């Protein structure tokens, strides 16, 4: 099987949005990902959002606060937003989101996870380790790099980013940070 046929099966996940207990945004400075979370909230797919992520040099603020500020500006009710600002990677996003859910007694039977298209498999496998009994709904978002399952191999930069993601999955697996 050719690489461009195999990789979409392994890397690019996408689920249909369903009514869920909570939306968790893995740390991001990407407004498209945050907008997706807010849109899903406003459409009634969930009544709660957790924004994760520590300080990001690119945006000069905490990723979690960046998400919260955008959500508030778009009309999300402050009482429906939770933030954690300690996580520095996908594993920590999951760990600290779990702590918020436990601390506030939030339900997590179904969780929506908006993320970059090429980050979707690692997000799912990492969050499964912290939420083994939850149904995880992956909602991929095309970021400014415009990487999709249909074009990632057509451009050297896109190919390199996707191959880096494959490498990260291997590293996370070897560290025990994700469930295969």
The CATH number assigned to the domain holding 40 equals 3.40.50.620
Query: Rounded CA gap, 138 and 127, in Å?
Result: 11
Q: What is the extent of the structural domain holding 145? A: 3-175
Q: Is residue 11 part of a domain?
A: yes
**pLDDT of residue 91 exceeding 50:** yes
Q: Give domain status of residue 180, yes or no.
A: no
Question: What's the pTM value of the predicted model, to 2 decimals?
Answer: 0.93
101-113 average pLDDT score: 97
pLDDT of res. 180: 72
Q: Do 20 and 110 contact (CB within 8 A), yes or no?
A: yes
Residue 7 pLDDT: 57
pLDDT at 4: 55
- Of 99, 77, 73, give the one whose Cα is nearest residue 86: 99
């Amino acid at each position: 099987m050719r690489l461009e046929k195999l990789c979409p099966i392994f890397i690019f996940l996408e689920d249909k949005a369903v009514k869920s207990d909570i939306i968790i945004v893995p740390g991001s400075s990407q407004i498209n990902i945050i907008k997706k979370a807010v849109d899903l909230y406003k459409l009634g797919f969930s009544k709660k959002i957790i924004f994760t992520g520590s300080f990001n040099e690119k945006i000069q603020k905490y990723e979690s606060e960046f998400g919260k500020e955008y959500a508030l500006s778009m009309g999300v009710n402050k009482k429906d937003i939770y933030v954690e600002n300690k996580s520095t990677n996908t594993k920590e996003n999951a760990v600290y989101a779990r702590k918020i859910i436990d601390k506030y007694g939030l339900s997590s039977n179904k969780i929506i996870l908006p993320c970059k298209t090429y980050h979707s498999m690692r997000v799912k496998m990492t969050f499964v380790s912290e939420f083994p009994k939850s149904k995880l709904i992956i909602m991929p978002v095309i970021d400014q790099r415009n990487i999709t399952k249909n074009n990632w191999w057509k451009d050297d930069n896109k190919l390199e980013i996707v191959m880096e993601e494959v490498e990260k999955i291997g590293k996370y697996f070897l560290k025990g940070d994700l469930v295969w």
